[in-house]
Amino acid sequence: MEHPVEDWEMNGMDLIMEFHLYVYISETNPLDLIAGYLNEPLTSLEEALQPFHGQIDQLADNIKKAKTEFYYPSEHKRIRDGPAVIYIYTMKWKNRCVYGHLEVAWKSKDRSKMKPWLIYLRLFRSALDKLSDIEKEIWQEILYDESLLQKLNSNTGALYSYLSLCLLSPNEIKDYLQKNAGNIVLLIGHKSVNGKSITEYSDNKKIAYLIWPGTKLGVFKSKRKSCPQYLL
């Protein structure tokens, strides 16, 4: 996996780029937090997200919207509600949506907070498994993290991916960052990570590729000083 890393500046956040900002690379495997999720039953989307009614605003209405986009059965049939599971993950609405609440749970590194998500993640993974792997370089950015940069430079210990959304072209990210000066971020490219194209099932067509958590990353740093390069 190739990780060219560059420093950029950004100010503010729009809905297109927000999905690509909070990306995490961990020294521990995030799959440990959801161990056993593949043993969960395949349910409807309503059942999978039932624990979050009352926590996520307008959840019922947006589940209905997602299922309307990909009604069952349809030409998009993969598993029951499969496309809608992906679609609602990419949706953004008032306050934190499904994506935001799941990110908070991941960041907590607390298995008890991930447990309510196991059925949804089982459904999500089953839907993704029906899609073909992609062999393209894909891109994302993370907020500047000195400890991560030191970890990449030291090339010691294992690193793992979290659930991540990526873009196909780094130019989309660069154009946005050049127009929005502010916080420094790291621009990262991935290659051969068995990502999945979810454009067809996305609320925002610029959210094109998804990396499942737990991909082990090896690091190689090039000798270029002007633009540090990392192979992960």
Rg of the chain over all Cα atoms, to the nearest angstrom: 18
Q: What is the pLDDT of residue 187?
A: 65
Backbone angles phi, psi at 150, to 5 degrees: -65, -40
- Got the DSSP string for 83-100? HHHHHHHH---SSS-HHH
Distance of alpha carbon 135 from alpha carbon 1, whole angstroms? 11
Q: What is the pLDDT of residue 209?
A: 83
Domain positions in the chain are 2-231
Structure tokens at 218: 């090896």
Residue-wise pLDDT tens digits, 97-138: 898 899 889 989 999 999 999 999 999 999 999 888 877 777
Residue-wise pLDDT tens digits, 161-202: 888 877 776 666 666 555 554 555 566 666 656 788 888 888
2-231, CATH topology level: Toxin ADP-ribosyltransferase; Chain A, domain 1 (3.90.176)
Give the end-to-end CA distance of the chain in Å, rounded to a whole number. Answer: 4
